[in-house]
């Protein structure tokens, strides 16, 4: 495959599961070393929580975010050692879904793994603290396109008297709204009336990617000012823009904006496909993003790399 045919993509919250990265760490010393580096950076045996659970503790936002990054970078380190991966040579873009954007930047050399782990720990705590438990919610509207979802969110906010906005445009008729609990519940009712195939509350601890996350955005702005962001070795396709960026100052601004802005994932995939990407390689836990590739860009391939067997598959691609 040519360099311009591949993009490396990194999952976000919801992809975590007990046992993530365990098989990689057991078989490959590079993965074990990466997880040890994250444990040391956080002063916590996060890898033990990833391997053994419990699930409810792993799912806590402050744990899930650095854990998902660790699983993603463990896969990258094994690909580098076993398959000769060089992101700068072998990819045209990196991109990540929400917290996965930090994983993408670490993979492309903008952050060290330790820096990414500490930032994501802070991000998780700040997002959880931004809204009191129960004050906010998120819901998936299935079978509704993003334009209809924007209209539903606007109407829900007006009728319920609270924040409601599109948080994720994932593609394949999957849009997530976020905001005040009453407004999100109203959006579910409006979506059903508009013909949504299904509309359900998500099991999340805070209303991510809406204006209620402004305190988290401010916390990330302060934290990111203390970290050097190096130019990525390949362009990042940013959640906020659904377009490529390489300038460190712009990346810093976009990471702050990302806390309150929607994740434009569908548009990001289309942007990369239009630039010639035909293979999207999801690194880390789960297969969510590879599944979305099939829905949004059916002419492209989506491959998930999270187990030793997946490493063999990647090597077979050449």
| Residue 273: closest CA among 239, 252, 291, 296 | 296
Residue ranges covered by each domain of the chain:
3-130+213-317, 136-204
Beta-bridge partners for 198: 142
pLDDT in tens, the chain (318 residues): 445 699 999 999 989 999 999 999 999 999 999 999 999 999 999 999 999 999 999 999 999 999 999 999 999 999 999 999 999 999 999 999 999 999 999 999 999 999 999 999 999 999 999 988 889 999 999 999 999 999 999 999 999 999 999 999 999 899 999 999 999 999 999 999 999 999 999 988 889 999 999 999 999 999 999 999 999 999 999 999 999 999 999 999 999 999 999 999 999 999 999 999 999 999 999 999 999 999 999 999 999 999 999 999 898 876
Instruction: Determine the Cα angle at 111 with ends 110 and 112, to 5°.
Output: 130
d(CA 18, CA 1): 33
CB 100 within 8 A of CB 163: no
> Can you identify the CATH homologous superfamily of domain 3-130+213-317?
Malonyl-Coenzyme A Acyl Carrier Protein, domain 2 (3.40.366.10)
d(CA 201, CA 138): 6
Distances (CA, A) of 209 to 39, 132, 165, 177, 313: 28, 15, 8, 9, 35
| Residue 304: CA count within 13 A, CB half-sphere | 17
pTM: 0.96
For the chain, the first-to-last Cα distance in angstroms comes to 7
CATH class of 136-204: alpha beta
CB 5 within 8 A of CB 276: yes
- Torsion 107-298-271-176 (CA) sign: negative
- Exposure class string for 169-180: b at 16+ Cβ within 10 A, else e: bbbebbbbbbbb
Burial of 104: CB neighbours in 10 Å, binned 0-12, 13-18, 19+ = buried
| Residue 61: CA count within 13 A, CB half-sphere | 20
d(CA 115, CA 98): 17
Largest CA distance in the chain: 56
Residues marked as catalytic: 98, 209
Strand arrangement, sheet containing 236-238: 243-245, 236-238, 93-96, 6-10, 279-283, 301-305
């Amino acid at each position: 495959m040519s360099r311009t045919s591949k993009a490396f993509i990194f999952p976000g919250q919801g992809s975590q599961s007990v046992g993530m990265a365990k098989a990689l760490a057991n078989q490959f010393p590079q993965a074990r070393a990466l997880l040890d580096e994250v444990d040391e950076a956080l002063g916590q045996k996060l890898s033990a929580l990833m391997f053994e659970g419990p699930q409810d503790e792993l799912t806590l936002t402050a744990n899930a975010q650095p854990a998902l990054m660790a699983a993603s970078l463990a896969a990258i380190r094994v690909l580098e050692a076993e398959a000769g991966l060089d992101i700068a040579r072998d990819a045209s873009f990196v991109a990540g879904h929400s917290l996965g954007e930090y994983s993408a930047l670490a993979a492309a050399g903008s952050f060290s793994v330790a820096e990414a782990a500490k930032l994501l720990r802070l991000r998780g705590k700040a997002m959880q603290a931004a809204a009191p438990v129960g004050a906010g919610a998120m819901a998936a509207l299935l079978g509704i396109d993003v334009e209809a979802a924007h209209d539903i969110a606007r109407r829900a906010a007006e009728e319920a008297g609270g924040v409601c906005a599109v948080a994720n445009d994932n593609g394949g008729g999957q849009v997530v709204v976020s905001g005040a609990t009453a407004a999100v519940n109203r959006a579910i009712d409006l979506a059903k009336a508009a013909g949504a195939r299904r509309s359900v509350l998500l099991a999340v601890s805070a209303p991510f990617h809406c204006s209620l996350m402004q305190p988290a955005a401010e916390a990330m702005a302060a934290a990111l000012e203390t970290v050097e962001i190096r130019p990525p070795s390949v362009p990042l396709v940013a959640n906020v823009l659904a377009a490529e960026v390489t300038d460190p100052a712009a990346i810093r601004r976009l990471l702050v904006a990302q806390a309150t802005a929607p994740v434009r994932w569908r548009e990001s995939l289309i942007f990369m496909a239009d630039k010639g990407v035909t293979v999207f390689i999801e690194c880390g836990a789960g297969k969510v993003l590879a599944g979305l590739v099939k829905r949004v860009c059916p002419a492209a391939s989506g491959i998930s790399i999270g187990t030793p067997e997946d490493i063999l598959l990647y090597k077979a691609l050449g």
